[in-house]
Amino acid sequence: MGLLEGKRLLITGVLTEASIGFGVAALAQQEGAEIILTGAGNGMKHTEKSARKLPTEPVVLEFDVSDPSHIPALRTELEQRWGTLDGALHAIGFAPSVCLGGTFMDATWDDVAVALNISAYSLKALAEVVAPLMPNGGSIVGLDFDNTVSWPSYDWMGVAKSAFESTSRYLARYLGAQQIRVNLVAAGPIKTIAARSIPGFSKFEDVWDERAPLGWDVRNAPGVARACVALLSDWFPQTTGEVIHVDGGYHATGA
């Protein structure tokens, strides 16, 4: 039996085969899970295309985290299809271009508000969808990037990730009574569509592999998907509010 045998998971953020969410979705299916994907706006067609490349083609439902009406709509759809849910992956993030690339001082509150809403508050929005469908407990896992220091070009997305981490800790506190665990996986840099949209992302690539004790491949990091699947399984029953680093050890190594 696989780690996720019999589990039902909601997975967000699958755009292409290079998406971390795609790797998690594929491995989750291999480990026995039944999954549903979500997409939004113009990205829906990309999510649907990627869904067809998974071992078993899953249903794709619409979920725009910036639209409050989508929260009850998605919850109702999931309840009608499955009744209950065992886990969810948060792989959602966005910031206006002015929030990235060294223009930190140029971003207005309106710009930053978009980044915080979609990249941090959305974790709470996802929890609103899935927590009521987890009467027997469950697991929510989010994809993070280390934000204990400032990074070149990452700018307001780094601030959003700090809010994201804090949100996960508060969700862990308030959902713990329902035996719902909330954890994050802080991955090293991976060449996804989201990463390519960050000006200066290439600065991370060679440096990361040189400094990480275990090495790092920006094109292939299977450990990230494995960590997510492990946290979505029953193997970490008393771990919540945690950030698991899957970055080759970069975060623990000085220059």
Q: Would residue 32 be called left, alpha or beta, if left means φ above 0 and alpha means ψ between -120 and 50 degrees?
A: left
53 flagged as catalytic? no
What is the predicted pLDDT for the residue at 195?
Answer: 65
Q: Under CATH, which architecture does the 8-249 domain have?
A: 3-Layer(aba) Sandwich (3.40)
What is the predicted pLDDT for the residue at 209?
Answer: 84
What is the predicted pLDDT for the residue at 141?
Answer: 99
Q: Where are the domains of the chain?
A: 8-249
What is the predicted pLDDT for the residue at 128?
Answer: 98
Catalytic one of 161, 170, 191, 203: 161
**DSSP character string of 132-157:** GG-TT-EEEEEEE---SS--TTTHHH
What token pair was written down for 50? 């990627």
Catalytic one of 45, 154, 191, 250: 154
pTM, entire model: 0.96
154 flagged as catalytic? yes
What is the predicted pLDDT for the residue at 196?
Answer: 66
CA dist., res. 103 & res. 119, Å (int): 18
Alpha-carbon distances of 250 from 61, 111, 198, rounded to whole Å: 36, 30, 20
Which residues of the chain register pLDDT less than 70?
A: 193-197, 199-201, 206
Are the beta carbons of 128 and 73 closer than 8 angstroms? no
